[in-house]
Structure 1
Amino acid sequence: MKFTDKFPQGLAQRPFFTFEFFPPRTDQGFENLASRISRLAALSPLGVSVTWGAGGATKDRSLELAALTQHEYGLDTLLHLTCTNARAGSVDAALKDAQEGGIENILALRGDPPRGQEEWVPSDPRFAHAIDLVTYIRESYGDHFCIGVAAYPDGHPDKLIDEDKDLDYLKAKVDAGANFIVTQLFYDIDGFLRWLKKVRERGITVPVIPGIMPIQTYSSFQRLTKLTGAHVPDHVHDALKPISHDDQLVKDYGVTLAVGMIRKLVSEGAVPGVHFCTLNLEKSVQRVLENLQWTGMHAHPHNRLIADLAKKSEAGSDLVVTPETATHDATQSLASITVTDGEAGRGELNNAASWDDFPNGRFGDFKSPAFGAQDPWGNSGVAINEMLKQWRNPKTLGELTQIFLDHLHSKISTTPFSPTPLSPESLTILPELEQLTKRGWWTVGSQPVVNGASSSDEVFGWGPRAGYVFQKGFVEFFCEEKDVDMLQKRIEEHGTGWVHFVAGNYRGDHRSNVPDDGRNAVTWGVFPGQEIIQTTIIERESFLSWKEEAFTIWSEWASCYRPGSEEHKLLESIRDRRWLINIIHHDYQNPRALWDFVLGKVDGTA
């Protein structure tokens, strides 16, 4: 069913809500997302949306996930579709697959800006902007698809596009055939309402659905607001500052903030419903809906679950339904069906609904649906020309090394592998990272040893207060194959079981001494009344998933420069020749253990 056919007619109707999911990177994550979606389906959203990686990077997974939500769970599905960097014919193939799969809703997006604006030539010249996609869908499929488009209340990610120009583009997309608008996430309600007034003054009358993302952790909030350019009001900053090192309090505040935002939007009569960016997590959005009393008997009229409960009552059941018991009954009964004993995260205290509530760092649990969380809509928000000023024009290995060193020393704020400056935690091991980088071992991930730091520690803390956190040291870097040979030999001869590694290259070769079923928890926390929470886990599957992305980044960086240029040839040769290696030392009581080992002080080769 088309979304617009289900939108409430008139703002007096109860608002609706939709959920957004991204296709997980791993098979295990995909399987566990299915059970997560089944639990959220019990809350009766109007529909769900499925994101689409830039250039169709997640095409197969996105279509598979859309088929699951559409057919297995009966949820009308909005399939995101990006057009820039798409291969010739891929848009046609995706639309054909969507039509054959019974999907009637498309969110037409530009996606990531083309890499290297001066040199870039679209592989499918029909599609460079979202309006091209909207126009093509209407011309090719008539009214078969209900089309949504994106809007940016806090300004377009490309800062060269001012608000007036962006509103012109939005009007053009609607005039081309878009049926509704979904906004990028925002936290400034007053700013949104001012923007919405300007939208209406432009003669844009289609429904506008605000994108709401409950704050999950302070670090992810900082990253995503920077990436999307979202304006954060002072009152939000002021509320988060004293609790920023308590992930549970941050999550609680995120729920409270989202509830307040939605209540104001509804009381202003501004929107017919809201779109939740879930990041494939479930507890926060469920809590928001419960606080709004939009679940159970308060849910949307399309609520099949309440109809089932009503039938039970008519059949003579002594069940008394209240909003609270309805939600509890729905969630618990469905979870008991869909959560098998083998499902990741199953446990008395740490059940599947919340076992990954505190994702931490690149290497979360690869079985988690939230592993490798993508940014909203596959859009980096990065102005590539601005980034190239920092990354310059590397033509030699020495110039590449200098870029990584400049990032360590905060002379530049990003590299293609690190979108933010070094964290305070990484600064504690800056001398060691500098030593490795000067060897030409370009570090892209690391963490120091932590042995029982307070969970409220300003540098190392995470999770609820009144707990203790632990970390094993690990480091990850690009190096030559001969370096991998040397390090592997050192680990075999001197590691004595304390050191694990996994390494891989662009061609698909990989090496490791981690057992096939080995799972190295390198960050964990102990908190009152809870099971031990493991937030960073490194094993082959998570590493190999990240490794694929890492070598793709070399390709994308190379594409910023003219084909055949020295920069282009250098970066592609690095991609083709280098290895990515991750080394873990399990002695978390010795801060020097990892560094002495990697730098060769254990065998006299330093």
Structure 2
Amino acid sequence: MKVIDKIASRDASRPFYFFEFFPPRTDQGFENLLSRIARLAFLKPLALSVTWGAGGSTKERSLDLAGITQKEHKVDTILHLTCTNMLQGMVDDALMTAKQRGIQNLLALRGDPPKGKEEWLPIDAQFQYGVHLVKYIRDHPDFGNYFCIGVAGYPEGHPDTDNDEDAEIEFLKAKVDAGADYIITQLFYDVDKFLTWHAKVRAKGITVPIIPGVMPIQTFASFQRLIKLTGTSVPEQVMHDLEAIKHDDQLVKDFGVNLAVDMVQRLTAEGINGIHFCTLNLEKSVQRVLEKLGWTGAQNSPTLLKNKLIEDTVSNDLSVAAKTATTDAAASLASISKTDGEAGAGELNNAASWDDFPNGRFGDFKSPAYGNRDPWGNLTHIAPSHLGSPKTIGDLTNIFLDYLHSKRQTTPFSPEPLSAESATILPHIEKLTKRGWWTVGSQPAVDGASSSDPVFGWGPRSGFVFQKGFVEFFCDEEDVDGIARRIHERGRGWVHWIAANARGDIRGHAASDDRNAVTWGVFPGQEIIQTTIIEKESFLSWKDEAYSIWAEWASHYRPGTEERELLDQIRKNRWLVSVVHHDYKDTDALWMLFD
């Protein structure tokens, strides 16, 4: 059924909501997301929405997920569709497949720049903006009357219009005039700005439903990435409150739930009764928001909501002197996973919350949120201005060394500056890098540091955290041979390692069923929480992404240039190696292996 018809036919005094999901990166994550959607379907969303990866990178998974949701769970599904890297035939194929699978609702978007590009450029002149996609669908004899079409609204302006609000509202009106039925906004945290924008949109004569986008904050690290990526403004009081608790993942999550409840209550009090929740493929936060709002039961009148107090608040006891557990985005992929804090990775944990916090690249590959780096399931593309002009192996080594020495803030493998945690092992990773083994992930061994530790701490306070040392790097095949011999001679059963190249060759002795927890925490009243797990499946998933980064890096240079040929050869010939040492009580054990 068309969502515009469902909105029109519902009881106007009762709020409605959508849930947004992205196609998981792994088959296991996909299967587990279906179970998660089945549980969330009991909350009676008006519709579910499924994102479309940049440039159609998740096309088949998006169509599969939307089709299964529509057929198996009997929930109307909104399929996102973008112009990025789409030719007319590709658009027709996507629309026909959606129609065949019973999907009747779309969200037509221009889309983000494809990989390897800093600016958005169309590959088909007739699909330059979202308005062109809307008009094409509406004018098509096979699709025009079948689909209900939504478009995006930008309460704080689109980055490509230099935040020109009036121009952006004119673009929005053009999309509605072309045949759009409803508007879903980009997520925001400043309700006052949204309400001002909403009034201007209505004053322009736009009367279609406007559904605001709300995303409960999951962790401080993921929140920071989000606002940087989208350019979303944050009220000063919200940032002040988050700064005080950013070291405690659970407090941040609780704060995020309460903030979302407060935002929705303000919106419904102003007569805006539809909400689009971005879930990040997680379950618990959005469920808690709905429970606090009273929307999961019979009493969900906006009049009652206006006077309803939030049932619990974030603790005011913020006296623990701890700094944020920063992410080692360059030399510690594990820390990305850790600070994004997947809460429990075992199948015995409660299915609704075993991955309650976002995952990093080495979270649990069975999680629907595994590997997520942004709200749409995409990894951040490389900014060309940060690439340099490497023409030799030595140039590449210097790029990685400059990053370790903080002379550059990013590399293609590291979107954020080096963290404080890396400083504790800097001489070791520097030594490997000088050898020509370019490190892209590592962490030191830690034996029972306080969860409030300013460098290693994460999760709730009053706990202890542990880490096994591991390192990951690119090297030549002959070096892989030497590493294999060294581990055989000195490993004594304490070392797991795995290596792979772009062709798909695999070496090492990490078995398919090995699940090496390399970061875990022990907290009062909880099971042991494992936030970083290195296993064969997750490594191979990351391996594919890692070699795509080399290909993307090379694509920034013209064919035939020294830079292009060097990077192409690196991608073809180098191996990605991951080594874990299980003796977390000996902080030098891993590094002695390479001396």
TM-score by length of 1: 0.86
Confirm or deny that 1:536 pairs with 2:532. yes
Confirm or deny that 1:353 pairs with 2:352. yes
Partner residue in 1 for 2:294: 293
Q: 1:465 to 1:164 in 2, by over 3 A?
A: same
Q: What's the CA shift for 1:131? A: 2.6
Q: d(CA) in 1 for partners of 2:230 and 2:417? A: 17
Partner of residue 497 from structure 1, selected from 488, 493, 496: 493
Of 440-449 and 253-262, deviating more is 440-449
Partner residue in 2 for 1:248: 250
The residue identity in structure 2 corresponding to 1:39 is R
Q: d(CA) in 2 for partners of 1:528 and 1:209? A: 40
Q: What per-residue deviation string (whole Å, max 9, x for no partner) do you get for residues 385-424 of structure 1?
A: xx32222333333222232223223333222222211222
Q: What per-residue deviation string (whole Å, max 9, x for no partner) do you get for residues 493-512 of structure 1?
A: 22111111122222222223
Q: What's the CA shift for 1:84? A: 1.1
| Alpha-carbon contact 2:361-2:371 (below 8 Å) kept | yes
Q: 1:40 to 1:439 in 2, by over 3 A?
A: same
Q: What per-residue deviation string (whole Å, max 9, x for no partner) do you get for residues 89-124 of structure 1?
A: 332221111010000111122222145669997554
Partner residue in 1 for 2:149: 147
Of 467-476 and 454-463, deviating more is 454-463
Give the alignment of 1:128-527 within 5 angstroms.
Answer: 128-140=128-140, 141-158=143-160, 160=162, 162-269=164-271, 271-298=272-299, 345-347=346-348, 350-377=349-376, 387-527=383-523
Q: d(CA) in 1 for partners of 2:518 and 2:562? A: 39
Which SS does the other structure have where 1:295 is aligned?
coil
Q: 1:461 to 1:344 in 2, by over 3 A?
A: closer
Confirm or deny that 1:57 pairs with 2:57. yes
The residue identity in structure 2 corresponding to 1:511 is R
Which SS does the other structure have where 1:42 is aligned?
helix
Partner residue in 2 for 1:36: 36
Which SS does the other structure have where 2:267 is aligned?
helix
| Alpha-carbon contact 1:98-1:104 (below 8 Å) kept | yes
Confirm or deny that 1:577 pairs with 2:573. yes
Q: 1:162 to 1:489 in 2, by over 3 A?
A: farther
Q: 1:520 to 1:268 in 2, by over 3 A?
A: same
Q: What's the CA shift for 1:528? A: 1.5
| Alpha-carbon contact 1:84-1:110 (below 8 Å) kept | yes
Q: d(CA) in 2 for partners of 1:219 and 1:159? A: 28
Which SS does the other structure have where 1:436 is aligned?
helix
Q: 1:116 to 1:476 in 2, by over 3 A?
A: closer
| Alpha-carbon contact 1:481-1:579 (below 8 Å) kept | yes
Q: 1:267 to 1:161 in 2, by over 3 A?
A: closer
Q: What's the CA shift for 1:585? A: 1.0
| Alpha-carbon contact 2:188-2:233 (below 8 Å) kept | yes
Partner residue in 2 for 1:309: none
| Alpha-carbon contact 1:19-1:47 (below 8 Å) kept | yes
The residue identity in structure 2 corresponding to 1:148 is G
Consecutive unaligned residues in structure 1, runs of 5 or more: 302-323, 325-342, 602-606
Which SS does the other structure have where 1:7 is aligned?
helix
| Alpha-carbon contact 1:506-1:551 (below 8 Å) kept | yes
Consecutive unaligned residues in structure 2, runs of 5 or more: 303-310, 312-343
Q: What per-residue deviation string (whole Å, max 9, x for no partner) do you get for residues 464-510 of structure 1?
A: 22211111111112222222222122222221111111222222222
Q: 1:440 to 1:536 in 2, by over 3 A?
A: same
Q: What's the CA shift for 1:205? A: 2.5
Q: 1:195 to 1:569 in 2, by over 3 A?
A: farther
Which SS does the other structure have where 2:81 is aligned?
strand
Q: d(CA) in 1 for partners of 2:498 and 2:363? A: 16
| Alpha-carbon contact 1:16-1:272 (below 8 Å) kept | yes
Q: What per-residue deviation string (whole Å, max 9, x for no partner) do you get for residues 125-152 of structure 1?
A: 5434323322222222212111112233
The residue identity in structure 2 corresponding to 1:358 is F
Q: d(CA) in 1 for partners of 2:116 and 2:548? A: 15
The residue identity in structure 1 corresponding to 2:479 is D
Q: d(CA) in 1 for partners of 2:578 and 2:117? A: 34
Q: 1:457 to 1:123 in 2, by over 3 A?
A: same
Which SS does the other structure have where 2:376 is aligned?
helix
Q: d(CA) in 2 for partners of 1:221 and 1:119? A: 24
Q: What's the CA shift for 1:254? A: 0.6
Partner residue in 2 for 1:73: 73
The residue identity in structure 1 corresponding to 2:245 is I
Q: What's the CA shift for 1:581? A: 1.5
| Alpha-carbon contact 1:158-1:381 (below 8 Å) kept | no
Which SS does the other structure have where 1:296 is aligned?
coil
Q: d(CA) in 2 for partners of 1:260 and 1:136? A: 39
The residue identity in structure 2 corresponding to 1:444 is V
Q: What's the CA shift for 1:569? A: 2.7
Confirm or deny that 1:91 pairs with 2:87. no
Q: d(CA) in 1 for partners of 2:118 and 2:191? A: 37
| Alpha-carbon contact 1:229-1:381 (below 8 Å) kept | no
Q: d(CA) in 2 for partners of 1:84 and 1:358? A: 30
Q: What per-residue deviation string (whole Å, max 9, x for no partner) do you get for residues 344-390 of structure 1?
A: 8443xx311111123453211111111112522356786x6xx3222
The residue identity in structure 1 corresponding to 2:91 is V
Q: d(CA) in 2 for partners of 1:540 and 1:381? A: 24
Partner residue in 2 for 1:2: 2
Q: 1:12 to 1:592 in 2, by over 3 A?
A: same
Q: d(CA) in 2 for partners of 1:51 and 1:395? A: 38
| Alpha-carbon contact 1:186-1:211 (below 8 Å) kept | yes
The residue identity in structure 1 corresponding to 2:62 is S
Q: d(CA) in 2 for partners of 1:279 and 1:119? A: 26
Give the alignment of 1:549-588 within 5 angstroms.
Answer: 549-588=545-584
Of 81-90 and 202-211, deviating more is 81-90
Which SS does the other structure have where 2:43 is aligned?
coil
Q: What's the CA shift for 1:214? A: 0.6
Partner residue in 2 for 1:330: none
Of 107-116 and 5-14, deviating more is 5-14
Q: What's the CA shift for 1:431? A: 2.6
Q: d(CA) in 1 for partners of 2:11 and 2:551? A: 49
Q: d(CA) in 1 for partners of 2:87 and 2:486? A: 44
Of 404-413 and 586-595, deviating more is 404-413
Which SS does the other structure have where 1:32 is aligned?
helix
Confirm or deny that 1:112 pairs with 2:112. yes
| Alpha-carbon contact 1:22-1:374 (below 8 Å) kept | no
Q: 1:570 to 1:37 in 2, by over 3 A?
A: same
Q: What's the CA shift for 1:571? A: 2.4
The residue identity in structure 2 corresponding to 1:539 is E
The residue identity in structure 2 corresponding to 1:368 is S
Q: What's the CA shift for 1:159? A: 7.1
Q: What per-residue deviation string (whole Å, max 9, x for no partner) do you get for residues 245-290 of structure 1?
A: 1111111111100000111111122x33111111111111000000
| Alpha-carbon contact 1:112-1:378 (below 8 Å) kept | no
Q: What's the CA shift for 1:200? A: 2.7
Q: d(CA) in 1 for partners of 2:425 and 2:92? A: 50
Q: 1:454 to 1:192 in 2, by over 3 A?
A: same
Q: d(CA) in 2 for partners of 1:61 and 1:34? A: 12
The residue identity in structure 2 corresponding to 1:450 is V
